[in-house]
């Protein structure tokens, strides 16, 4: 039986290819792209849909990360954000803040062979994205975007002992303009009590921002450790 929302997650994977076509629509206009190492905050809570099946759940998740980067703009290339039109050669410094909050429905599977279990959820994600930019030539601007995206996440875990598990997780979201998150991570889950897990690990996170309002898009990659709580009711 196909896991909930797995079919939809396949569609989300088409997003990066379509965005590449968008970005290549003009040879002189380039996207603002950068990466940084940072730390993530991750808070989760889940509630059973019915008393008969506690593995069928509604999940709420909140994450936040900040970063900064510098991008060199090559000679003749253009970064265009309406009131911020910069022609290279130049350099752009950027500071970014990304917050996501999702609500989703799915299942946390029972432990199966060799103590492996899976989870699959789908729902809606809200992204708050802020970035401030300053060029070496003195131009400044900021972009603020708050959007809803269709969301899916998947997880595969190995139960080492009843209170300790390790696993791999992935999450995807996209809206009609193909903006959204792509996320992969390794996680350790420690359960000191029945209703709480302390979680931590390492995450690779990417946010793509594209809109018809600007010729340039924004692609931010953040990676680093995360720590948080997962509450289960």
Q: What is the pLDDT along the chain (233 residues), one digit of tens a residue?
A: 445 444 444 544 455 554 444 444 456 899 999 999 999 999 999 999 988 888 899 999 999 999 999 999 999 999 988 778 888 899 999 999 999 999 999 998 777 778 899 999 999 999 999 999 999 989 899 999 999 999 999 999 999 998 999 999 999 999 998 899 999 999 999 999 989 999 999 999 999 999 887 889 999 999 999 999 999 88
Cβ pair 40, 205 in contact under 8 A = yes
**Domain presence at residue 43:** yes
Task: Please report the pLDDT score of residue 11 as a whole number.
Answer: 45
CATH code where residue 168 lies: 2.40.128
Task: Please report the pLDDT score of residue 81 as a whole number.
Answer: 85
Q: How far is CA 130 from CA 67, 107, 122, 199, in A?
A: 11, 33, 25, 26
**Domain presence at residue 146:** yes
* Peptide bond between residue 89 and the one before it cis (omega within 30 degrees of 0): yes
Task: Please report the pLDDT score of residue 26 as a whole number.
Answer: 52
Task: Report which of 82, 106, 131 is spatially closest to residue 6, judged by C-alpha positions.
Answer: 106
**Domain presence at residue 154:** yes
Task: Please report the pLDDT score of residue 181 as a whole number.
Answer: 96
**Domain presence at residue 199:** yes
**Domain presence at residue 76:** yes
Domain count, the chain: 1
**Domain presence at residue 135:** yes
**Domain presence at residue 1:** no
The residues, any chain, with a CB within 8 Å of residue 20's CB and separated by 6 or more, are none
**Structural domain boundaries, residue 154:** 6-232
Task: Please report the pLDDT score of residue 38 as a whole number.
Answer: 97
Task: Please report the pLDDT score of residue 24 as a whole number.
Answer: 45
Q: Where are the beta strands (DSSP E) in the chain?
A: 32-37, 40-48, 56-73, 78-80, 85-87, 90-108, 116-135, 140-161, 164-174, 180-193, 196-209, 218-232
């Amino acid at each position: 039986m196909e896991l909930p929302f797995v079919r939809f997650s396949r569609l989300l994977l088409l997003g990066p290819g379509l965005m590449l076509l968008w970005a290549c629509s003009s040879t002189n206009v380039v996207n603002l792209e950068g990466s940084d190492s940072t730390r993530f905050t991750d808070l989760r809570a889940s509630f059973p849909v019915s008393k008969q099946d506690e593995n069928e759940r509604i999940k709420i998740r909140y994450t936040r990360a900040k970063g900064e980067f510098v991008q060199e703009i090559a000679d003749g290339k253009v970064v265009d954000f309406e009131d911020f039109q910069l022609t290279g050669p130049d350099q752009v410094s950027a500071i970014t803040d990304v917050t996501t909050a999702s609500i989703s429905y799915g299942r946390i599977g029972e432990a199966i062979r060799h103590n492996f279990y899976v989870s699959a959820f789908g729902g809606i994600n809200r992204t708050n994205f802020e970035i401030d930019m300053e060029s070496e030539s003195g131009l400044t601007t900021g972009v603020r975007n708050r959007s809803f995206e269709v969301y899916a996440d998947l997880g595969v875990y190995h139960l080492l002992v009843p209170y300790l598990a390790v696993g791999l997780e992935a999450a995807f979201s996209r809206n009609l303009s193909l903006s959204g998150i792509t996320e992969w991570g390794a996680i350790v889950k420690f359960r000191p009590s029945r209703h709480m897990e302390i979680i931590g690990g390492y995450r690779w996170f990417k946010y793509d921002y594209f809109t018809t309002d600007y010729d340039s898009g924004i692609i931010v990659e953040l990676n680093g450790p995360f720590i948080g709580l997962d509450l289960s009711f």
